[in-house]
Structure 1
Amino acid sequence: MMTLKTLIYYLSEHPNIINFRWSHTQSWGSTWSFLFTSILTYILLSLFLHLFLLLRRRPVPLGPIPAMHSLFMALISLTIFTGILFSAAAEIRDTRWFWRRTNTTPFQWFLCFPLGTRPSGRVFFWSYIFYLTRFLHTLRTFFAILLRRKLSFFRLFNHSILILMSFLWLEFSQSFQIIGILLTTSIYSIVYGYRFWTAIGLRSACFPFVINCQMVLLACNVICHVGVLMLHVKKGGCNGIGAWGINSVLNAAILLLFINFYVNSHLRGRRKRTALTSDNRDDVGKVNVAPDTVETRK
């Protein structure tokens, strides 16, 4: 049985983790050309598959594939969360002596990397793994298309921006990424675990569980971005602040699109269902109402 000491070793003290270095020549998928090519390929494949399946009347049966994907994503998200948490604790232990000179606390380091930070070591290893899992996350788009669900602009934009932002974290050693990965992987492990739970036929929640989890994640991101800005002004600079600015704009765009999606898909739909239910009750109370009219409105 794996002990805690063994788990810590494989998640934060293994030589491959300690000696990791983000490099355009050594790290797969680390070039700008790969980034833009992969995002463009994802968008084009999604659009092509969507248009191709418009001619098919029935959804493509996927069997247990979506459920297995959800289970795998929940496990890998939990692994990344645990790995970066252990790695951050190890980095705090090893560099505490340096932070005392600059009056930096561990909480401040989580949000604001010192100027000159390079993308190497434990934390950036798990940031790199997180970046790679963004491509696995896009598989849900193809599952949705094959199951004849609507392909939305928000889905394509959100997945593409997630890949771009995680690339910027590594390329510019951007501040905020530790807390960003901790928040995202914790929520994703819950969301994908819930999706696996419902995919195997177990009872779902009585409220939009996934949507609410995404709202919590976006709200936490906004709060943390404000914290980074305050520390940047107070401490005289955080590393990768230019990339952080781009990240903030993209997060704001995702937040606005998500709010618009939530209002259109849920709030308005709820109002329509409420109004429809009220009309049905009124019609049922009338003596001269036709039976097929009530049936049609259900």
Structure 2
Amino acid sequence: MISIHSLRYYLSEHPSIVGFRWSHAQSWGSTWSFLFSSIALYIAAAVLLHVLLLLLFRHRRPIPLGPLPAFHSLSMALISATIFAGILVSSAAEIHDTRWLWRRSRTTPFQWLFCFPLGTRPSGRVFFWSYVYYLSRFLHALRTFTAILRYRKLSFFKLFNQSILIFMSFLWLEFSQSFQVLAILLTTLVYSIVYGYRFWTAIGLPSACFPFDVNCQMVLLGCNLVCHIGVLLLHYIKGGCNGIGAWVFNSVLNGAILFLALNFYVKMYLGRKAAARVGAGGDRRLVDE
């Protein structure tokens, strides 16, 4: 069995983790051209698949995918759990190694989770796991295509949500944005639970008697909202947080996602016609990352 020491080494002390540096020349997918072209390709491929299905299959019956959805859910649950463990252990190591420097600026570990000091560079342990999280967003986006095949419906929320989340995770690295450590911890924790639940139900085990996915998504959005308020307060109290410009743009995009999610949530619980069309699978189509 792997010892705790070995696990800590591979999660936070491996040379490739400690020596990581976000660079347009060294990091795959780190250029603006790659970001915009990949998002455009994702949207175009999703729309093309949806149109082809409408042209080739007049009926709107779901296309059987076999074990593919279950495999994707299991993979994403394991990846999310690994990122959560990695950034948690790496954050603890980073706090231990740099606490002497924080004493000079009177920064506590709690404040660091919300607000990076000005001049923070995208290098080291936590940014390695932020980079892994950024790459995992592309694997999350594959769920859009399985949803199109299964439900024969292309959702604007899906395309918008996935595209924005890829874009935001890129901004975290490009501008060493504050709050990203806490955001990744919260998000990967929820994803590991949600995708684990999806795998559970995909293999035929009983599902919850309430919309589990939707409630997890709303909890995550609520936590993000509270944390964003904390970042704003620390920015003015501490005299500035690193990457605050990107954080403002990020907050606007998060607000748009929150509005769409709340709109879906209210419609579902008020029993409107849209919720009737969604039916029992509605909760799975909201949290589509």
TM-score by length of 1: 0.89
Alpha-carbon separation, structure 2, partners of 1:271 and 1:119:
43
Is 1:209 matched with 2:212?
Answer: yes
Q: CA RMSD in A?
A: 1.4
Structure 2, unpaired ranges of 5+: 277-289
What are the equivalent positions in structure 2 for 1:238-277 lying under 5 Å apart? 238-269=241-272
What are the equivalent positions in structure 2 for 1:1-298 lying under 5 Å apart? 1-55=1-55, 56=57, 57=59, 58-269=61-272
- Secondary structure of the residue aligned to 2:151 is coil
Alpha-carbon separation, structure 2, partners of 1:143 and 1:271:
21
Which residue does 1:293 correspond to in 2? Answer: none
Deviation at 1:152, TM superposition (A): 1.2
Alpha-carbon separation, structure 1, partners of 2:210 and 2:79:
26
Relative to structure 2, which stretch is displaced further, 121-130 or 98-107? 98-107
Alpha-carbon separation, structure 2, partners of 1:232 and 1:9:
34
Deviation at 1:270, TM superposition (A): 9.0
Alpha-carbon separation, structure 2, partners of 1:209 and 1:270:
21
Alpha-carbon separation, structure 1, partners of 2:26 and 2:67:
36
Give yes or no for contact 2:70–2:202 (8 Å, CA) kept in 1.
yes
Alpha-carbon separation, structure 2, partners of 1:52 and 1:271:
24
Alpha-carbon separation, structure 1, partners of 2:42 and 2:274:
35
Alpha-carbon separation, structure 1, partners of 2:88 and 2:118:
22
TM-score by length of 2: 0.92
Structure 1 counterpart of 2:49, one-letter code? L
Deviation at 1:127, TM superposition (A): 0.0
The change in CA–CA distance for 1:272 and 1:92 in structure 2 (over 3 A counts) is closer
Relative to structure 2, which stretch is displaced further, 80-89 or 256-265? 256-265
Deviation at 1:266, TM superposition (A): 3.9
Structure 2 counterpart of 1:30, one-letter code? S
Deviation at 1:224, TM superposition (A): 0.5
Alpha-carbon separation, structure 2, partners of 1:86 and 1:135:
24
Give yes or no for contact 2:115–2:234 (8 Å, CA) kept in 1.
yes
CA displacement, residues 146-179 of structure 1 (integer Å, 9 cap, x when unaligned): 1134211111100000000000000000000000
Identity %: 72
- Secondary structure of the residue aligned to 1:62 is coil
Give yes or no for contact 2:267–2:274 (8 Å, CA) kept in 1.
no
Alpha-carbon separation, structure 1, partners of 2:243 and 2:152:
39
Structure having the higher Rg: 1
